[in-house]
Structure 1
Amino acid sequence: MEAVRRLMDLRHRGRAEDLPAVLAAAAPLLDAETATVLLVDYGQVALHPLRGTTLDTATALPVEGTPAGRAFTTAEQQWLDEGGGGVLWLPLLHGAERLGVLEFRIKAHPSDAHRLDLEVIAALVAELIASRRFYGDAVEHTRRRMPMQLAAEIIWNQLPPLTFAVDGTMVTAVLEPCYEVGGDAFDYAANEDVLHVALFDTVGHGISASALTTLTLNTYRNARRSGLALADTCRSIDKWIRAQYPGAFVTGLVAELDIATGAYRRISAGHPPELFLRAGRALPSLPTPNALPLGLGHMIDRPPRVVEQQLEPGDTLVLYTDGITEARDASGELFGAERLSEFLLDSLAGGIPAPETMRRLIQAIVSYEDGELRDDATAAMLQWRRR
């Protein structure tokens, strides 16, 4: 309880960078030699000691091929025996969002009760990181492994956490190139029984694209919070884009899922159809598009059409931008929707959690284009389980 009290003191008068010192002082109270926070970088490639860590033993650890990485990817604790004592890695989860891992060096093999106590500490540390991160830049300094372009800075500051879960339903997303993205974005919100999800792909790149994306995201949120229906939401976004950026446009998927019943409704504004996966196979795509790209809706005298689909428990929908399917290898061959579908089906069949599936997907896309993406690549996975 003394360790908990010391950590709780940070809620009111502490910064994220103060956390390593408090943990180091609290480690003996937890029957541990050291306690170290390791946060995942923006590319989700490695786990790095939180800024402010002074331990000589604290080093970055790859996500691939390490026990720390397995704790992160599986969201399950990992133990490495070193002859009596060893190292315990616990996932740092803020809700369903994976922040990194908490590493404990322990003199003796931990009992089940000891592990449970350390899980409570890990949960508290995750909450402290999530709440303290906005009062300084320690978390950002830790997660960034190269300079972030201004356009990407603007976009990341607009986005919700990559992963969210409620009542067994999950939405999880990825964006790449994470330090240069400017035209792609996603959003979601859970209100009562409705999960709102949107994915946008803005024409252009750089600051101009990020400014248009910012307008699109905030107009979408304003319409959603004003209680507008899907069609009226698209009309509102279309109106504001046309007023502020004449001639520009944004493609997008704007959707609603009834968490209780699995009723899915969406509008595709010039956007590729989502992948529809059920029981280990890909089902035919939903009709698309149902409207012109946002900003060009005035060209036809017809309101956006809403497509409805009844989901079954376990169904998965994957929304993506064309940067995913139009990725090219050295020979110029497209990654394509079929390859994307096969990748996702194989991953889900292997029991890979949704957030880890998306992390592996974006790594596969980057590798397919030999590390140099030609376009922003964004995807969001929506999985429905009956309440």
Structure 2
Amino acid sequence: MEAVRRLMDLRHRGRAEDLPEVLAAAAPLLDAEAATVLLVDYGQLALHPLRPNPLDPSTPHRVEDTRAGRAFTTAREQWHDGTLWMPLLHGAERLGVLELRLKAYPDDADRADLAVIAALIAELIASRRFYGDAVEHTRRRLPMQLAAEIIWNQLPPLTFAVDGTVITAVLEPCYEVGGDAFDYAANADVLHVALFDTVGHGISASALTTLALNTYRNARRSGLSLIDSCRSIDKWIRSQHPGAFVTALLAELEITTGAYRRISAGHPAELFLRGGRALPQLPTPNTLPLGLGHMLTRLPEVIEQQLEPGDTLVFYTDGITEARDVTGALFGVDRLSAFLLENLDADVPPPEVMRRLIHTIISYEEGELRDDATAAMLQWRRR
């Protein structure tokens, strides 16, 4: 409880950068010789100490082939040779890992207490990160372009779960992305999800994406329907950026029943996965890209589909399926479906499936993405 009290003091009088010092002082109270917060970088490649101590020889842990990385990817504790790694989860969002050096493997009761400490640390990181730049300095391994800075500051956490339903997303290139974005919100029994792909690149694309994203939120928070939300975004894009356009998927899921509704505004259809196979894609598009709606006289069409428990929907931008290898061959929808089904069949958690997917796309293009690549997975389970 003394360790909890010291950590709780940071909620009112501390910054994220103060956490390592407080945690080091609290380590003996946890029967630990040392305690270190490791945060995942934007590329989800390695785990780095929060404000590393120059006198501490600890180095980053790769996500792919270390026990710390395994604690991150599986969201389960790992133990080896006097070190315990516990996942740092803010809700379902994977922030990193808590590394504890212990004299002996703790019993069940002590591990339960340490899990509470890890949860509290994750809450402190999530709540205090906006009062300084220590978390950002730790997570950034390359300079971030302004367009990417604008987009990342607009986005919700990459992963969210409610009553067994999960939404998780990835964006690349994470330090340069400017034209892609996603959003979600859970209100009462409805989960709202949207994916946007803006024409162009750089700061002009990020400005257009910002307008589309915030107009969508304004329409949603004003209680507008999918059709009226689509029309509102279309109107504002046409007004503020004449001639520009944004493709989008706007969707709603009734969490209690699995009733799914969506509009595709010039966007590729989501993948529809059930029971280890890909079902036929839903009709797309149902209207023109946002910003070009004045060219049609009819209203956008809402497509409805009844989901079954365990169904998975995967939204993506064309940077995923149009990735090319050295021979010029497209990654394609079939390869995307096969990759997703293979990982889901192996019970890989949805956030980890998305992380693996984006690194597969990067490798497919020899480490140099030609376009922004964004994907989001929505998995429904009955409450």
TMscore range, shorter length: over 0.9
Aligned to 2:64: 64
Q: Distance in 2 between matches of 1:55 and 1:171?
A: 40
Counterparts of residues 367-382 of structure 1 (less than 5 Å): 367-382=363-378
Check the 8 A contact 1:20/1:53 in 2, yes or no.
no
Q: Per the alignment, in what secondary structure is the counterpart of residue 9 of structure 1?
A: helix
Q: Deviations over 1:165-207 (max 9, x none)?
A: 0000000000000000000000000000000000000000000
Give the whole-Å Cα distance in 1 for the aligned partners of 2:315 and 2:53. 38
User: Gapped runs of 5+ residues in structure 1?
Assistant: none
Instruction: Find out whether 1:7 has 2:7 as its counterpart.
Output: yes
From 220, 229, 233, give the equivalent of 1:233.
229
Q: Residue by residue, what CA displacement relative to the aligned partner does 1:304-326 show, whole Å, maximum 9, x if unpaired?
A: 00000000000000000000000
- The equivalent residue for 1:222 is 218
Q: Name the residue aligned to 2:179.
A: 183
2:247 is aligned to 251
Tell me if structure 2 keeps the 8 A contact 1:78–1:89.
yes
* Mapped partners of 1:127, 1:337: distance in 2: 38
Alignment of 1:335-354 (within 5 A): 335-354=331-350
CA contact 1:162–1:172 (8 Å) conserved in 2:
yes
Percent of residue pairs bearing the same amino acid type: 82
Shift of 1:52: 5.2
Aligned partner of 2:132 among 108, 132, 136: 136
- Map 1:1-387; keep pairs closer than 5 Å: 1-51=1-51, 53=53, 56-81=56-81, 86-387=82-383
Taking the aligned partners of 2:108 and 2:102, their CA distance within structure 1 comes to 14
Asked if the contact 1:242–1:296 (Cα under 8 Å) also holds between the matched residues in 2, the reply is yes
RMSD between aligned residues = 0.7
Q: How far off is 1:55 after superposition?
A: 5.5
Distance of aligned partners of 1:257 and 1:55 in 2 relative to their CA distance in 1, 3 Å threshold? farther
Separation in structure 2 between the aligned mates of residue 52 and residue 232 of structure 1, nearest angstrom:
50
Change over 3 Å in CA distance of 1:55–1:68 after alignment to 2: farther
Paired AA for residue 379 in structure 2 = Q
Deviation at residue 108 of structure 1 after TM alignment: 1.6
Aligned residues: 383
Alpha-carbon distance in 2 for matches of 1:80, 1:53: 23
The separation in 1 between residues aligned to 2:132 and 2:258, in whole angstroms, is 40
The CA deviation string for residues 254-288 of structure 1, in whole angstroms up to 9 with x for no partner, is 00000000000000000000000000000000000
SS of 1:314's equivalent in the other structure is coil
CA positional deviation for 1:57: 3.7
Letter of the aligned partner of 1:75 in structure 2? A
Q: Secondary structure at the match of 1:385?
A: coil
Q: Distance in 2 between matches of 1:103 and 1:76?
A: 13
Displacement of 1:365 after TM fit? 0.2
**Deviation digits for residues 1-57 of structure 1 (CA, Å, limit 9, x no counterpart):** 111100000000000000000000000110000000000000000000002545614
Amino acid corresponding to residue 327 of structure 1 in structure 2: A
Distance in 1 of aligned mates of 2:224 and 2:202: 31
SS at match of 2:242: coil
Residues in 1 aligned to 2:57 and 2:94: alpha-carbon distance in whole angstroms: 23
* Distance in 2 between residues matched to 1:145 and 1:318, nearest whole Å: 28
Deviation at 1:355, TM superposition (A): 0.2
5+ residue gaps, structure 2: none
Q: How far apart, in 1, do the equivalents of 2:368 and 2:58 lie?
A: 31
Give the TM-score, by structure 1 length.
0.98
Q: Secondary structure at the match of 1:158?
A: coil
